[in-house]
Every structure is written in C-alpha cells, then in structure tokens.
C-alpha cells in the first residue's frame, strides 16, 4: 500500500480550515444574535414580549412599539440632539486634529514631539477621571445644560487619538508634493487642505467614523452636563426610561434601540470601502 504524505497534509489542511471557518461562523452568530433579538422583539406585541418560552419570530407582527415611541416620548428630540452633537464634535475633532497631526508630521522640533507625546498620554486617562475638570470648565464658561458642553467634551476626548491617527496618514504623503505647491504660491495651510488631506481621504473617513460612533454612544458626559429633557441625547434618554414605571415598555425601548443603532450601521455600510482602506493604511504606516 502506497503512503501518500502529500494527500494526508492536504486533508489535514482542509480540516484545519474547516474548523477555523466553523469557529468564525459561531463567533459571528454569537455577536449577531443580540441584534437579531432586539430587532424581532421590537415588532412583538405585549403578549409576545412576555411569552414563555419566547419565540425567535414574532407570532403577531406589530408596529405599535414604534408608534408609541414617536407619539408618547421625546425620542425625536433625543435623536436630533445626538445627530447635532455627534456630527459637530466629529467635524471639530477632524479640523483640529488635522492641524495638530500635520504639525506633528512635518515639524520635528523637540517641543513639538514632546507636545505630541503629552497628547497621547492624555488619551490613556479614563473618561470618568476627566469629568470633574471638564465640569469645572463647563460651569465657568456657562455651558452647563447646553449641547455645546457635550460637543466640546466629546471633542476633547476623541482629539488625542484623532491627532495621532491623522499624523500616521500624513507621514505617508511625500513632502516633495507640498514643496511643488509652495513653489506655485500655495501656503502651508493651503497645501494641507488641497494636497495632504485629499491624499488621505480613506484615513480621514475612518477616523471620522470612529469619532462619530464614540460621540453617538457617549453617556457619561451627557449624564453629568445635561439635566433638561430638551437637550438629552439618545443614550441618556433611553437609560432614564427604565426608571420611569409609567413610561417603561420593553418593546418600545427595543424599538428605540433599533433606531439608535441604524445610523451607525448605515454610516459603516456606506463608508466601509474607505474604512478598510484607511485602517489598513494606518496599520501599515503606524
């Protein structure tokens, strides 16, 4: 009988690949199931919500939870506040981070490098540690109970990582291209916004998506700085519903969670091509 080591190793390789693929699918299913359960439960009626054993698919499909969400709560106000705050803080962080990241990339003076290191160290501080000093600034500036307080707080929290990620992308843009523009009369700032940033669009989009997600899901700053229902964000507003016995409804809460998740999913779906390119470039250049 002929021994075929090549066939054995081929069979072993297929077995390993099959095993890894099975583990990957199990991991995907384990992560996707909570989202699936949240989605289908938001379409269940009150009987289906508390049915034992629970069903994977609603016996009776209903939009009542979504109707109640918009007719009996301030969900629309919370949603608009989150959009304004997350978008504004993302744009502000990208603008300031672009200037700082460009300076760290192009100027190698000792004090600039030290300043960059200080920015990176500040990112290691947890948000809970920053609440007290930020609270003092917010009260002093008169921004308490205002969306502006959350915009500035979210920007300050995401700015360090924004600076360093953008710096890694700017490092890959040859200075020779900028020097050619300078000869033609372009300033440094003009070179940044006309040459460097357009050359690193995938990276900028990746950083922007990360910042938007962080600001969209932020809860601690909103809890401390906002007391008026008029300025509540989605994470804060939805969390406070749990303690309101008259208002609390699991189906309505899950419907709100679905609608809260959709914008982030939509953003990542629309920019996934640039996201993957930006993150891969950042990994290779970092």
- pLDDT tens for 180-239 read 878 777 787 887 888 888 888 888 888 899 899 999 999 999 998 998 888 999 999 888
Structure tokens at 119: 């920015």
The Cα 103–Cα 51 span in angstroms is 60
Place of tokens 């109640």: 68
Give the model's pLDDT for residue 12: 66
Q: E strands along the chain, which residues?
A: none
Which of 101, 75, 128, 105 shows the shortest CA–CA distance to 240?
Answer: 75
End-to-end CA distance of the chain: 55
Give the model's pLDDT for residue 9: 65
Mapped onto helix, strand or coil, the DSSP state of residue 93 is helix
Enumerate residue ranges in the chain where pLDDT < 50.
1-2, 246, 278, 282-286
The Cα 39–Cα 47 span in angstroms is 17
Mapped onto helix, strand or coil, the DSSP state of residue 218 is coil
Q: Which domains does the chain have, with CATH numbers?
A: 40-72 (no CATH), 73-285 (1.10.3720.10)
Which of 213, 108, 217, 122 shows the shortest CA–CA distance to 163?
Answer: 122
Using alpha carbons only, what angle is made at residue 246 by residues 245 and 250, rounded to the nearest 5 degrees? 65
The Cα 270–Cα 276 span in angstroms is 12
Concatenate the DSSP letters of all residues of 123-174 into one string: HTS-HHHHHHHHHHHHHHHT-TTSHHHHHHHHHHHHHHHHHHHHHHHHTTS-
The Cα 33–Cα 26 span in angstroms is 10
The Cα 158–Cα 90 span in angstroms is 8
For residues 75 and 255, the answer to whether their CB atoms sit within 8 Å is no
Give the model's pLDDT for residue 284: 47
For residues 164 and 210, the answer to whether their CB atoms sit within 8 Å is no
State the CB neighbour count (10 A cutoff) for residue 126: 8
């Amino acid at each position: 009988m002929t021994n075929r080591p090549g066939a054995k190793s081929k069979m072993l390789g297929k077995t390993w690949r099959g095993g890894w693929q099975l583990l990957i699918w199990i991991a995907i299913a384990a992560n996707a199931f909570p989202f699936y359960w949240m989605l289908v439960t938001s379409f269940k009626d009150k009987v289906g919500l508390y049915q034992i054993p629970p069903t994977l698919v609603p016996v009776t499909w209903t939009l009542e939870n979504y109707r109640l969400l918009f007719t009996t709560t301030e969900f629309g106000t919370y949603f608009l506040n989150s959009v304004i705050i997350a978008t504004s803080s993302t744009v502000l962080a990208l603008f300031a981070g672009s200037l700082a990241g460009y300076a760290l990339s192009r100027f190698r003076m000792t004090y600039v490098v030290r300043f960059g290191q200080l920015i990176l160290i500040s990112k290691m501080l947890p948000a809970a540690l920053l609440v007290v000093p930020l609270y003092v600034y917010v009260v002093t500036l008169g921004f308490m109970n205002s969306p502006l307080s959350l915009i500035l707080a979210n920007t300050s929290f995401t700015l360090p990582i924004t600076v360093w990620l953008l710096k890694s992308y700017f490092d890959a843009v040859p200075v020779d291209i900028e020097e050619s523009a300078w000869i033609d009369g372009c300033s440094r700032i003009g070179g940044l916004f006309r040459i460097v940033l357009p050359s690193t669009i995938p990276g900028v989009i990746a950083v922007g998506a990360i910042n938007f997600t962080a600001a969209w899901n932020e809860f601690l700053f909103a809890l401390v700085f906002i007391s008026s229902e008029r300025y509540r964000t989605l994470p804060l507003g939805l969390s406070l519903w749990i303690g309101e016995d008259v208002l609390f409804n699991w189906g309505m809460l899950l419907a709100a969670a679905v609608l809260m998740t959709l914008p982030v999913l939509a953003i990542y779906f629309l920019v996934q091509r640039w996201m993957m390119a930006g993150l891969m470039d950042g990994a290779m250049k970092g």
